[in-house]
Amino acid sequence: MWPYAVVAALLGLLLLRRWHRERQTVPRLSEKHVLITGCDSGFGELLARQLDARGLRVLAACLTASGAAQLRAVTSERLQTVLLDVTCSKSIADATAWVRERVGDQGLWGLVNNAGIAIPTAPNEWLSKEDFVKVLNVNLVGLVEVTLSLLPLVRRARGRVVNVASVMGRVSCFGGGYCISKHGVEAFSDSLRRELRPFGVQVSIIEPGGFQTGMIDPVPLVKGFLRLWERLPAETQAAYGRHYVDKYAKSTALLHRLSSSRLSHVTDAMTHALLSRCPRSRYAAGWDARLIFLPLSYCPAWLSDTIIGFFLPIPASGVP
């Protein structure tokens, strides 16, 4: 029995060492600048407030002037805002110049690519190329361009890049550009992590499950779904059937009810990735991410297809 006891003791010591290392934070937080995209609401807004409360110099990028004003009203004078549209190269260039003026020779300690959209979401056949491009431009292409523009400043600080992906980047449960974009974020982050490690830059991926951020609000999702349905050719409508739309609306409402309102699960993971001496490469956030979708991503395709298909509507001309 003693060999098993030795192995168990060594494993316990390794886990204890990892726990201790992950609890250690980087020094001089008050000197570090962190840029966060998508701070109008949701994860970005909450993370900006959390980091500001810890004394960091937060550079909050918002899409709208009203979102920036609301954030400044609930934070300290240290926090500064900038308007940023991640789909516009000029806006990214202007924001990069603005950041460079503020960080100076210190560089940018943290870049959090949080901005993202989910709509339009529907069966792939219902969507046009433009529908896919709309989501990909924000969630993936914009993320890449923002990162490339700011990498010299992050490298100067030997800092951190935190990219918000999703468990839907591992298990694609619905059509449209969202799951595709998040799968792309995973791939981009993996290659970036390996490339930047020699420079002392750490790259982390956040993989949230379902959270009530407004991105999966059933009202706009269903309204968008109905608009897509109405523009379909009669042949396609007949193939799917009107009941498909009703079942989709019920599934969306159920998804929203099961989603967590505790956005801090995600922002705490972001904070750890930015401030821990030993950040992780990946952070799964949410009970559904840990207990359902991550295990599902390792299942055989026939099993994951069967489980996910159980919750999907059956088209009128489909096979039950």
pLDDT in tens, 94-132: 999 999 999 999 999 999 999 999 888 888 999 999 999
pLDDT at 320 over 60: no
**Amino acid identity, position 110:** G
Lowest mean pLDDT among 73-77, 146-150, 199-203, 257-261: 257-261
pLDDT at 250 over 70: yes
Confidence of residue 11 (pLDDT cuts 50, 70, 90): confident
Active-site pick, 4, 178, 244, 298: 178
Lowest mean pLDDT among 44-58, 74-88, 165-179: 165-179
pLDDT of residue 116: 93
pLDDT of residue 288: 86
pLDDT of residue 15: 67
Confidence of residue 65 (pLDDT cuts 50, 70, 90): very high
pLDDT of residue 226: 83
pLDDT at 191 over 90: yes
Are the C-beta atoms of 112 and 162 separated by less than 8 Å?
Answer: yes
Per the annotation, the verdict on 248 as an active-site residue is no
Q: Which CATH number fits domain 20-212+260-286+301-308: 3.40.470.10, 3.40.50.720, 3.90.1150.10, 3.60.20.10?
A: 3.40.50.720
52: Cα separation from own chain's centroid? 20
pLDDT at 62 over 80: yes
Q: Between 222 and 179, whose confidence is greater? A: 179
d(Cα 115, Cα 219) in Å, to the nearest integer? 21
pLDDT at 70 over 90: yes
Express each pLDDT in 24-58 by its tens digit: 778 888 899 999 999 999 999 999 999 999 999 99
pLDDT of residue 214: 66
Lowest mean pLDDT among 84-98, 140-154, 217-231, 261-275: 217-231
Mean pLDDT over the full length of the chain: 89
Residue in 199, 261, 191 with CA at minimum distance from that of residue 42: 261
d(Cα 171, Cα 279) in Å, to the nearest integer? 24
**What does the block give as tokens for 300?**
């055989």
Residue 94: CB atoms within 10 Å: 15
Residue in 115, 295, 288 with CA at minimum distance from that of residue 215: 115
Confidence of residue 212 (pLDDT cuts 50, 70, 90): confident
**What does the block give as tokens for 93?**
């260039």
Give 64's contacts (C-beta < 8 A, 6+ positions apart). 40, 83
Taking CA atoms, 290 is separated from 154, 166, 237, 287, 299, in Å, by: 30, 12, 37, 5, 14
pLDDT of residue 18: 64
pLDDT at 167 over 70: yes
Strands (DSSP E) along the chain, which ranges?
33-36, 57-62, 80-83, 110-113, 160-164, 202-208, 282-285
Lowest mean pLDDT among 4-18, 83-97, 293-307: 4-18
d(Cα 293, Cα 71) in Å, to the nearest integer? 33
Arithmetic mean of pLDDT, 218-234: 81
Sequence ranges of the domains in the chain: 20-212+260-286+301-308, 217-258
Taking CA atoms, 288 is separated from 167, 209, 259, 293, in Å, by: 9, 6, 8, 6
Residue in 207, 135, 197 with CA at minimum distance from that of residue 168: 207
pLDDT of residue 227: 86
Are the C-beta atoms of 149 and 82 separated by less than 8 Å?
Answer: no
pLDDT at 3 over 60: yes
